Amino acid sequence: MLSIFPSTNFILASKSPRRQELLKHILPTFELRIKEIEEVYPVDLNPREVPQYLAELKAKGFQDELKQNDILISSDTIVYMNNKIYGKPKDREEGIAFLQELSGKRHEVITGVCLLSREGIHSFIETTYVYFKKLDQNEIEYYIDHYKPYDKAGAYAIQEWIGMIGIEKIEGDYFNVVGLPLSRLYDELQKIKSH
């Protein structure tokens, strides 16, 4: 256990292998708990607030199970551009369409993170701006067919081939685009533990 977080039991509520791998870098020890929660949000909600809303929704499913020293971490990430949320593509055609739309433009990757304990709920959002160069049709189809990014918001992962050849620059936290804003998460955990 990290001495900066003595006697705290951390729980990650995510089945995402990327989030599990990322969290190991700042919290060597944590427990995994997963519940299937329907990810629905009010239609009139500001799109930029959707990830925080969904992160809180996921956390609340565990509210009655937490012990005194537990901190549960849940999160949700969206890709957002031109007032449209790009979720996980449902099939090849939608994956191709997403990347065609993102090609040559800047979009936002917004992650909502919720920290739940017996003391209450603490949540925040982190935004990173991602700039795609113009992708040609062959590149888009090659990526969709070889990497099958159907479990990824916006139909891509920055750490895969498409990110390496297609992303010109980012503004903000790289790890936020992978799935968890580690630096901000670490800071927010310290704030909670110092209260």
Q: Which of 44, 76, 145, 173 is an active site residue?
A: 76
- Beta carbons within 10 angstroms of residue 134's beta carbon: 10
Q: List 120's β-bridge partners, or say none.
A: 117
Tokens of 148: 């099958």
Give the phi and the psi of residue 37 in degrees, each rounded to 5: -125, 130
What whole-number distance in Å separates Cα of residue 41 and Cα of residue 25? Answer: 31
Residue 91 bears catalytic tag: no
- Beta carbons within 10 angstroms of residue 104's beta carbon: 13
What whole-number distance in Å separates Cα of residue 82 and Cα of residue 102? Answer: 10
Give the phi and the psi of residue 98 in degrees, each rounded to 5: -60, -50
* Residues labelled catalytic: 76
